[in-house]
């Protein structure tokens, strides 16, 4: 890690469609440990927003508590952020989204924040299909309190203190698919070629987009015996690459028949998925569950876009919310006035 972030930028840095350089999506200097997987995720989010040419100020970053939840400080410095309460990011994001449906919401959480204290809110967030991207930086341990097992730690994984975890871990991606999340991905913080397009796709998806990112903790969970160390994760990855082609761009690449599935999102963007198993359809929940389960049984960590329902109806649609953001409404739209009140009085006599 570095304490100083250079302000100097190459004058010829490439710009995106809006004229922003990637530096316009930077945040403050990270205070996480050197080599922390989370910093790679921050970089991937930054790069994804740059590549998709999102306006930084139209993005809101929301997090809970933990190492993961500190991350929003380290990307998108021109966006508002809210580091809320442990395990409660989903409710804060829900309220924020209800107030202004026009912003892009990025939630960052961790395995403790989501799979333990925040499990209830996480499940209900899925149920409501809030239009947001929800990233879990999953390292299987509590970093800020020095390495206790989290609820996603695998059975038998050895902690830094030397104890084998006696409990089965919770697989958040499987859980999200089962619960009906409309977009579920899994990736590895060390695989930016997959993670970046996955985040771009998630942000383009209208509905709840969940990405579980295995993100090793270099300080407390990167030793022999840990199943979430860099080397263990790399050794067991089963990567399904993907390309994200935004609506405005032409499709140029050609893919071999049978191994590629293309999914069009509501905004016209296209995701191309490349899979070894041609029978697996990522828009079919049962098929997705089967693929994830099979990989797990064989000791592989399947990564990529696991499941997607491109036609999902999000919370705003489901509760028939008007298109104008609620926080823009004023007295004229909201206050019925004295005549109406008088008629209410009349009805109470």
Site residues, another protein (CB under 8 A): 55-58, 60, 62, 72-73, 77-85, 88, 90-100, 102-103, 120-121, 123-124, 128, 319-324, 326-327, 329-331, 333-338, 340-342, 344-345, 348-349
CB of 340 to another protein, least distance (A): 7
Output the six-digit token pair for 57: 């100020």
CB of 339 to another protein, least distance (A): 9
Radius of gyration of the chain (CA): 21
Helices 119-128/172-179 angle, 10° precision: 40
CB of 256 to another protein, least distance (A): 43
Q: In terms of CB distance, is 27 or 37 closer to another protein? A: 27
CB of 136 to another protein, least distance (A): 18
CB of 212 to another protein, least distance (A): 21
Q: Using an 8 Å Cβ cutoff, are 157 and 128 in contact?
A: no
Degrees, nearest 5: CA angle 74-91-330: 95
Q: In terms of CB distance, is 34 or 99 closer to another protein? A: 99
Place of tokens 């499990």: 119
Distances (CA, A) of 114 to 4, 139, 175, 230: 31, 12, 12, 22
Q: Using an 8 Å Cβ cutoff, are 192 and 47 in contact?
A: yes
Q: Using an 8 Å Cβ cutoff, are 112 and 150 in contact?
A: yes
CB of 73 to another protein, least distance (A): 6
> Three-state DSSP class for 245?
strand
Q: In terms of CB distance, is 300 or 316 closer to another protein? A: 316
Place of tokens 């991905």: 185
CB of 274 to another protein, least distance (A): 36
CB of 82 to another protein, least distance (A): 4
Q: Using an 8 Å Cβ cutoff, are 9 and 21 in contact?
A: yes
Q: In terms of CB distance, is 161 or 341 closer to another protein? A: 341
* Helical ranges in 21-179 per DSSP H: 37-51, 67-70, 89-99, 111-115, 119-128, 172-179
Q: In terms of CB distance, is 119 or 170 closer to another protein? A: 119
**What are residue 50's phi and psi, to 5 degrees?**
-65, -50
317's enclosing H/E stretch is helix 315-318
């Amino acid at each position: 890690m570095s304490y100083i972030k250079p302000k100097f930028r190459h004058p010829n840095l490439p710009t995106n469609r809006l004229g922003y350089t990637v530096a316009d999506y930077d945040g403050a200097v990270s205070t996480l440990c050197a080599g922390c997987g989370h910093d790679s995720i921050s970089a991937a989010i930054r790069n994804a927003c740059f590549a998709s040419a999102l306006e930084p100020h139209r993005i809101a970053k929301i997090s809970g508590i933990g190492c993961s939840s500190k991350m929003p400080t380290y990307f998108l410095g021109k966006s508002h952020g809210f580091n809320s309460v442990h395990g409660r990011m989903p409710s804060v994001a829900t309220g924020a989204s209800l107030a202004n449906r026009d912003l892009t919401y990025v939630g960052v959480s961790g395995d403790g924040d989501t799979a333990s204290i925040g499990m209830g809110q996480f499940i209900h967030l899925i149920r409501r299909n809030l239009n947001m991207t929800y990233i879990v930086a999953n390292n299987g341990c509590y970093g800020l309190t020095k390495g206790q097992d989290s609820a996603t730690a695998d059975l038998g994984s050895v902690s830094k203190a030397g104890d084998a975890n006696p409990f089965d871990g919770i697989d958040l991606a499987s859980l999200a698919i089962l619960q009906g999340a409309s977009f579920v991905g899994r990736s590895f913080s060390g695989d930016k070629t997959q993670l970046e397009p996955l985040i771009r796709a998630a942000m383009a998806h209208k509905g709840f987009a969940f990405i579980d990112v295995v993100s090793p903790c270099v300080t407390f969970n990167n030793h022999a015996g840990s199943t979430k160390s860099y080397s263990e994760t790399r050794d067991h990855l089963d990567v399904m690459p993907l390309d994200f082609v935004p609506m405005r761009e032409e499709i140029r690449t050609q893919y071999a028949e049978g191994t590629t599935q293309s999914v069009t999102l509501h905004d016209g963007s296209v995701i191309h998925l490349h899979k070894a198993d041609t029978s697996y359809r990522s828009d079919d929940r049962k098929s997705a569950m089967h693929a994830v389960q099979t990989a797990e049984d064989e000791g592989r960590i399947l990564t990529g876009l696991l499941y997607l329902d491109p036609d999902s109806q999000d919370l705003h649609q489901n509760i028939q919310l008007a298109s104008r953001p609620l926080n823009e409404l004023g007295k004229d739209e909201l206050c019925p006035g004295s005549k109406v009140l008088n008629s209410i009085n009349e009805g109470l006599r």
